[in-house]
Structure formats: structure tokens, C-alpha cells
Amino acid sequence: METPFTNHLSFEHIYEPAEDSFLLMDAIEADDFWLRETVKPTICLEIGSGSGIVCSAVAKFLNVFCLATDINSLACRATRETAQRAGVIVECVNADLVKPVVTGKIDMLIFNPPYVPTENYEVASSNIAHTWAGGLNGRQVMDRLFPLLPELLSERGVFYLVLLEQNRPQEVERILQMQGLECQIVMKRRAGIEKLCVLRASKAQII
């Protein structure tokens, strides 16, 4: 997967691509064959696209229409610029999680959430806090998404989520399994003090 350029951006108010961003891209790239042959995604949605590096890379890599949301309007702007420079289409909406997105259409959902455990009041306290502050167990933001997944995803929909060890990946798996999703940790990596992994959840058993 080609890494889109982000050197036109300043990272004062948006997330600068880091190990977690690259881990997510690598996990998707490793599923190349399965995605193309089995899932055959038409519509992809990235939540919290930030600089736009991940969705732009995915839009170039797979023949999909990419939508993105971010709660930070500067990130939406950055995502558009990054996509333009990479010569791909990514459409960005300034929104909270997937609130304005209609149900049943998303074949591929990706999220590198704010996952760092913090005090709850720190979540959403600034544009930069949005990029990392995850509240209790780092789960405050992503936990709001989980109940929406079965409706949001299409029949063959898959979901890729970056998690930190402190987010309790096994507990997340159980929550998603209770929604009827099949779960698997597809990649793990240590980045400095962070133990990161990517969880893949899919609606149908399409392995």
C-alpha cells in the first residue's frame, strides 16, 4: 500500500500519522486477497480520518468509494487535501462518529480511535485531545460506536479497529460478539510503550 503524502499539513490541531496509523494500513493490506475476493467492498467509511492518510491509502489500494467523518473540522479539511494530492476520492463529513450515515450501506469501516486512558473530562476537551484522549480504559469514544455496528454495516460488512492493550481487547471482542459479529485480532505491534493491535470484526461468517 502506498503511503500518501502528508507533508503539506501542519499537525498543531490534527493527528500526525504515527505507528497506529501505519499498523491499521498494514492490517488492511495484509487482508488484500480476502477483501478483494470475498468482501468486495464498494463503500468504505473511515471514522476520525485526521490527516486522511489511512482513507486515502485505502482508496488508492482498493477500488472503493471512501467516506470519512471527523469531529474536528480542520481534520476534514486536511483529509480532503491529502486525498486530492494522492489523486483519490475521499468525501469528508464533519460529524460525531457515524451519526449522519444511513444504515446498511457500509462494506468496510475503519477506526483508529482516541484510545489513550485518561480522565473522562479530558475527552473532547480540544482538537488535539480528540485525537488521543479516550477516557476510562481509553474506551469512552469507541464504546459509543459498538451498539451502532450491526445496523451500519452491510451484509458483508467488515470493521477494522485499532486497540491498545489497556483498552482490554478481549472485552471489546466479547461486546462485538454479543452484537453477532465475528471477531479476530489480525495484527499486533509494539510501538514504544504502546502495545497495539488491530481487531477485525465481520458481520457474516465470510472467512
Ligand X SMILES: C[S@@+](CC[C@H](N)C(=O)[O-])C[C@H]1O[C@@H](n2cnc3c(N)ncnc32)[C@H](O)[C@@H]1O
By a kind-dependent CB cut-off of 5 to 8 A, residue 11 interacts, out of another protein, ligand X, none, with none
> What string marks each residue from 79 to 118 as x (binds ligand X by CB under 6 A) or -?
-----------------xx--------------xxx----
Per-residue cell: 40: 468486495
Q: Quick one: which of 202, 142, 201 has its CA closest to 166? A: 142
75 binds ligand X (CB under 6 A): yes
Residue number, 92 or 153, with CB nearest to ligand X: 92
CA dihedral 85, 36, 142, 22 (to 10 degrees): -50
Q: Quick one: which of 141, 140, 149 has its CA closest to 178? A: 149
The C-alpha atoms of residue 157 and residue 42 are separated, in whole angstroms, by 10
194 binds ligand X (CB under 6 A): no
Residue 2: other Cβ atoms inside 10 A: 10
Using CB under 8 A, pick the residue from 1, 30, 95, 128 that binds another protein. Answer: 95
55 binds another protein (CB under 8 A): no
Per-residue cell: 124: 473532547
58 binds ligand X (CB under 6 A): no
Residue number, 78 or 172, with CB nearest to another protein: 78
The C-alpha atoms of residue 9 and residue 193 are separated, in whole angstroms, by 26
Q: Quick one: which of 66, 149, 163, 78 has its CA closest to 114? A: 163
92 binds another protein (CB under 8 A): yes
In degrees and rounded to multiples of 5, residue 17 shows phi and psi of -50, 135
83 binds another protein (CB under 8 A): no
The residues that touch ligand X, with contacts defined as CB under 6 A, are 15, 17, 21, 24, 47-51, 53-54, 69-72, 75, 96-97, 112-114, 130-131, 141
The residues that touch another protein, with contacts defined as CB under 8 A, are 40, 42-43, 63, 65, 67, 71, 73, 76-77, 80, 89, 91-96, 99-102, 105
